[in-house]
Structure 1
Amino acid sequence: MRNDFSALFLALADKTRLRILNLLAHCEISVHTLTEILGESQPKISRHLAFLRKAELVKTRREGKWIYYKMAEIKNEHLKNILNNLIEWISSDETMQKDYSKLLELQPDLVLRAKSNIYANPYMTREQKKEELEIHLL
């Protein structure tokens, strides 16, 4: 990510975009699934995703007619820490928890597959990944 901090914080200054990031912190998700979970129209979700993509927080993958989004890899350690702490903080919000429950209902295999890969969250620091790995090995 470029050092455009205002673009970053503008991207984070919207509840829908935070809800999207909260979900993408768990796994790669299609636009269609995001619209189902968030209860918003496809054009609205796509606009929010474009905003996040412009801020270099998410990236896309096309598979046939479907577009999938996932968290972008962040190289700046300070930014990784900010985003990881943000995701951890907002995940306790009731709305965020409901969104995650819907994701589990709609795509349990996808979430479980992503959870088995501790490196799925690019915002985790190396130390956090190591701690998570140690927990999984116990």
Structure 2
Amino acid sequence: MLLAVPVPAQHEAPMYWRREFPGRPEEVRSVRAFAAHLLAGFPALDDVLLVLDELAVNAIRHTRSGEDGGRFIVDISLDVAGAIVYVTDRGGPGEPRLRSLAGLAEGGRGLLAVDALAATWSWTGGPRGRTIRATFPRTDLSPDHRG
């Protein structure tokens, strides 16, 4: 008896980009342009750009990346399943955490936006540096065509 064995479809090779940015507020625009160029046509591009905006601002405002001569790194990974973005900063005394909407004035909403827009997010690291990761699955493919 001859059995047919299904062969998995060839996956597209994932794409991966990394860029380091000076820790200055005007660089947030450059982060968005970097991602917009690389992810042109990605269904959740607007969400990705808003999340990267928040993460870059947080790196500059709340970590040593925003100090004189500070820097932060943005990594972007894209494959058939979706996009993942990472922002790595130089660390600081606090830890990334969600705050309650109650009592928030102008600040403190950044990670709430990340939590609302990304499918998942997480962070790793400590006072000397940390990386925040946010995922954005593709939603424009039919179930038959999702790797």
Q: Which has the higher contact order (CA 8 A, sep 6+)?
A: 1
Structure having the larger proportion of residues in strand? 2
More helix by share: 1
Q: What TM-score, normalized to structure 2? A: 0.31
Q: Which has the larger radius of gyration?
A: 2
User: What is the TM-score when the length of structure 1 is the normalising length?
Assistant: 0.33
